[in-house]
């Protein structure tokens, strides 16, 4: 009897086959009717814990940049409509899910929706999983936020670009800021989430401190689990230590939880906390963020961005639309889209008009230098695929008169000071004494 049911069920497989055929026809019909615009797939966390701090600001950055580009409203030198006169049509996709889901949705964008380029990805795991697929499909892909240096260090890439600097810069910059503010640091500690981002951040910070201040000792190396939310034991450990500064790469909920709890127990008064991603949280935490916290924003983003006309314009339109200032993921998204625009138009110019092919854009993209709301960027690493920028750190202060967060005592570090030269792996570079750093 069971076997009889089996027989029936095998017929379902036949139905599935029909379904395959039907969807194939549907997609072909869609393509025939497809309009002329440049199609971009924008991938960002739209759901899950990384959506509110990174995913949504990233998506908003894309939405507003694409709208402004299509309207030809971006200040010079980006005043041409869309990409080289062709309007952009964006399709937004959620990054949430397993590596299998991320790769499947990437293939869907490239092979089903026939997008001309994919811009996106926040998680380093997503970037690492997508990279070989992008290379295999010869699909132009621009990452905007993921931080791992491994992407261009494990192999040379052709179709993948990342204008935003990788995470090594965040932690070498953090070490330099700490040492320029507190030259006599003898003991320091770190509290980082126990996953790749936290482990890598701490390793880079620790190596940089060992090189820049060999006499300073790492005292407590704490790795609570991701999304732990409660840090009572860790704060007690830090309170009983002699550390003069504590490093953290926590973000969003974990960062807020840790800062609230450390403020309540006086930890933030005992030792300043250097938080490498805190810029993304200042507009939410406001006066709840302890004064004196050292703030990083994954590069010169948000209040750490240079005072240029382009930045003022971007900040202005973002606040008008979303009612809150843009944070670093929005800046990184603007950086990625403008990079694509520069490469696209350069390829178009070389070609002498018309829509450039992927191959033409890819070779035009390599090694470009341009300006974004977060200042100048140069695709100097990974054979011209990985960007470097200057970075900045500053100290947080809540201005009670104006009721607004402020970052003061900002120190800027040139791109060549906090990033490795093009032929060295970042981990080896930091451990080997940061040779060739121009500060």
Q: Which residues bind other proteins (CB under 8 A)?
A: 1-14, 16-17, 19-21, 23-24, 27, 46-47, 92-94, 98-101, 103-105, 107-108, 110-112, 124-125, 128-129, 131-133, 136-137, 148, 150, 154, 194-197, 199-200, 203, 226
Q: Which is nearer to other proteins, 201 or 374 (CB)?
A: 201
Q: Which is nearer to other proteins, 199 or 241 (CB)?
A: 199
Task: Give, rounded to a whole angstrom, the gap between the first and last alpha carbons of the chain.
Answer: 78
Q: Which is nearer to other proteins, 87 or 203 (CB)?
A: 203
Q: Which is nearer to other proteins, 148 or 268 (CB)?
A: 148
Residues linked to residue 378 through DSSP beta bridges, in sequence order: 369, 388
Q: Which is nearer to other proteins, 74 or 93 (CB)?
A: 93
What are all long-range contacts of 74-82, with beta carbons under 8 Å and residues at least 24 apart?
74/313, 75/309, 75/310, 75/313, 77/371, 78/338, 78/341, 80/345, 82/37, 82/38
C-alpha pair distances (Å), 276 with each of 2, 241, 386:
60, 21, 20
Q: Find out whether 326 and 432 touch, Cβ atoms under 8 Å.
A: no
Greatest Cα-to-Cα distance within the chain, rounded to the nearest angstrom: 81
Q: Which is nearer to other proteins, 125 or 257 (CB)?
A: 125
We find the least distance from the C-beta atom of residue 52 to other proteins, in angstroms, to be 12
The two beta strands, 404-413 and 391-399, are: antiparallel
We find the least distance from the C-beta atom of residue 132 to other proteins, in angstroms, to be 5
Q: Three-state SS for 119?
A: strand
We find the least distance from the C-beta atom of residue 215 to other proteins, in angstroms, to be 26
Q: Residue 378 belongs to what H/E stretch? A: strand 375-381
- E strands along 223-293, which residues? 245-248, 273-275
We find the least distance from the C-beta atom of residue 67 to other proteins, in angstroms, to be 17
We find the least distance from the C-beta atom of residue 309 to other proteins, in angstroms, to be 33
Q: Three-state SS for 270?
A: helix
Q: Residue 405 belongs to what H/E stretch? A: strand 404-413
We find the least distance from the C-beta atom of residue 85 to other proteins, in angstroms, to be 28
Q: Which is nearer to other proteins, 14 or 352 (CB)?
A: 14
We find the least distance from the C-beta atom of residue 49 to other proteins, in angstroms, to be 13
């Amino acid at each position: 009897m069971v076997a009889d049911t089996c027989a029936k069920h095998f017929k379902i497989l036949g139905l599935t086959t029909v379904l395959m055929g039907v969807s194939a026809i549907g997609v072909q019909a869609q393509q025939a009717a497809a309009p002329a615009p440049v199609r971009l797939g924008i991938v960002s966390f739209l759901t899950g814990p990384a959506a509110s701090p990174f995913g949504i600001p990233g998506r908003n950055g894309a939405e507003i940049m694409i709208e402004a580009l299509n309207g030809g409203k971006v200040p010079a030198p980006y005043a041409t409509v869309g990409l080289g006169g062709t309007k952009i049509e964006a399709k937004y996709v959620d990054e949430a899910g397993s590596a299998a889901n991320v790769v499947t949705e990437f293939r869907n964008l490239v092979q089903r929706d026939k997008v001309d380029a994919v811009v996106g990805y926040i998680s380093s795991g997503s970037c690492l999983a997508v990279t070989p697929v992008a290379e295999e499909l010869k699909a132009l892909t621009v990452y905007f936020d993921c931080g791992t240096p491994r992407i261009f260090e494990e192999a040379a890439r052709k179709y993948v670009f990342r204008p935003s600097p990788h995470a090594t810069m965040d932690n070498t910059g953090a070490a330099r800021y700490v040492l320029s503010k507190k030259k006599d640091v003898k003991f320091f500690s770190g509290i980082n989430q126990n996953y790749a981002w936290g482990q890598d951040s701490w390793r880079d910070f620790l190596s940089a401190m060992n090189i820049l201040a060999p006499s300073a000792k790492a005292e407590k190396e704490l790795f609570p689990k991701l999304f732990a939310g409660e840090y009572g034991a860790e704060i007690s450990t830090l309170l009983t230590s002699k550390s003069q500064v504590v490093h953290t790469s926590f973000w969003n909920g974990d960062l807020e939880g840790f800062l609230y709890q450390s403020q309540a127990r006086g930890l933030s008064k005992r030792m300043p906390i250097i938080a490498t991603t805190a810029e993304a949280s200042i507009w939410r935490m406001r006066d709840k963020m302890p004064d004196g916290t050292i703030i990083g924003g994954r590069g010169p983003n948000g209040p750490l961005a240079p005072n240029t006309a382009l930045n003022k314009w971007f900040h202005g339109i973002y606040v008008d639309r979303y009612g809150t200032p843009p944070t670093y993921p929005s800046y990184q998204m603007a950086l990625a889209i403008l990079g694509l625009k520069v490469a696209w138009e350069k390829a178009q110019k070389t070609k002498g008009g018309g829509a450039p092919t992927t191959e033409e854009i890819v070779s035009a993209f390599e090694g470009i230098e341009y300006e974004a709301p977060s200042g100048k960027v140069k695709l100097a690493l990974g054979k011209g695929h990985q960007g470097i920028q200057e970075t900045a750190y500053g100290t947080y202060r809540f201005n009670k008169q104006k009721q607004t967060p402020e970052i003061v005592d900002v120190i800027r570090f040139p791109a060549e000071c906090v990033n490795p030269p093009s032929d060295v792996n970042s981990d080896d570079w930091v451990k080997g004494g940061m040779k060739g750093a121009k500060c």
